[in-house]
Amino acid sequence: MEEETNINKSNQLHHIEARLKSSIKRSKVNKTKIVNPPKQEWISNHIINEIKIRNMLWIEHKRYPEDETKKEKFIKKRNEVTKTIRNAKSQYYYKAFDDCNKKPTKMWRLISSLANNKQKNSTTPTKLRNETGYATTTKEICEAFNKYFSNIGSVLAEQIPKTSYQEASPRANEIALTGLSKLEPTTVSEISIMIDNLNCNTSAGIDGINPKCLKCVKNLIVHDLTNSINQCLEDGVFPDNLKIAKVTPIFKAGDRSEPGNYRPVSVLPILSKIFERVLYNRLMSFLNSINFLYDKQYGFRPKSNTLSATVDLVTDIKINIDKKKIALGVFIDLKKAFDTKIKYQSNHNK
């Protein structure tokens, strides 16, 4: 009876998700909109008018190809328009790079756009290598991707020498558990802020609920959502329906028929992201309170990023060069590092 009660309590988030999906299905209106190609930002109204004049002269030239005067007028205007566009584009990007000063994220995004590193509309391969040969149908390709992504961690973990693994000290296990036996309940205010901070440009998960929809009905569900998350925290349960991710394989490089050349991008349900943020806040608060995290851990920490790591690296190199010492850097790229670590620890514990 007690187990059944806990299951019912943990299904409260599932009911909220179902209500949202049902409301979206009833209210959703599909519209077809024909979108013209976006105009380049450096194309001004003056340039558009000059292009129209150039096109008119081109029509006249095609109509009377033997008229040298019309031909000369067209060529002159064409060269003027080309020069004007080139100058406008140059000035635009000069200002864009100047605005990116001391903003590395914005700078790399600009450089990526100039390098044409844009994802294609479809990255689905026509065939994919599997155990029996090649998968060719859509269903077979999906199953091949699913099997590869699910098993690659275990396969690589088996290749790690067992002698390289070291048991965590009892003190480390004690620190990891102490203070986390009971998590502080969340509040309506905290959940409301989390919903407001959601990025509307992110994709919807398998539930079809996007951040914009959730923000529109925030005031209607925030109290129920808060109570449901608090009940899950008290029971120590993370609902199974929030663990289902929509996985998209993104091609990296190499042979498109090799599953190892794809990176899986998982999109979880939007309610899962809110629940995860609640857990993250409490876990980080606890780890910071005992000063558990290493100062040089740059990733996944507030006010710390790759730029901080780069600054420290360059500083250390400069200091050693000034001291007439040799600066040596060792960079390690681990294949499927996260999945392999989890699988390896799980297998070892068994």
pLDDT 10s per residue in the chain (350 long)?
444 555 455 577 778 888 888 888 887 777 776 655 666 778 888 999 999 999 999 999 999 988 999 999 999 999 999 999 999 988 988 888 888 887 888 888 888 777 765 555 555 788 888 888 888 888 889 899 988 888 887 777 777 777 655 555 555 555 555 667 778 899 999 999 999 999 888 888 888 888 988 898 899 899 999 999 999 988 888 888 888 888 888 888 888 888 888 888 889 999 999 999 999 999 888 888 888 888 888 887 878 888 888 899 999 999 999 999 988 888 887 777 766 655 555 555 55
What pLDDT sits at residue 150? 84
- Distance between CA 13 and CA 11 in Å, rounded? 5
What pLDDT sits at residue 76? 93
- Distance between CA 97 and CA 146 in Å, rounded? 42
H or E, element range at 273: helix 270-289
What pLDDT sits at residue 332? 81
Residue pair 203/210 in contact by the 8 Å Cβ criterion: yes
Segments of 188-315 assigned E as strands = 246-251, 262-267
Residue pair 347/154 in contact by the 8 Å Cβ criterion: yes
- Closest to 259 measured CA to CA, from 143, 124, 145, 127: 145
What pLDDT sits at residue 284? 87
What pLDDT sits at residue 8? 58
Query: Would you say how long the chain is, in residues?
Result: 350
What pLDDT sits at residue 16? 84
What pLDDT sits at residue 109? 82
Segments of the chain assigned E as strands = 128-130, 133-135, 246-251, 262-267
Q: In this structure, what token pair is assigned to residue 99?
A: 């605005």
- Distance between CA 349 and CA 23 in Å, rounded? 45
What pLDDT sits at residue 345? 54
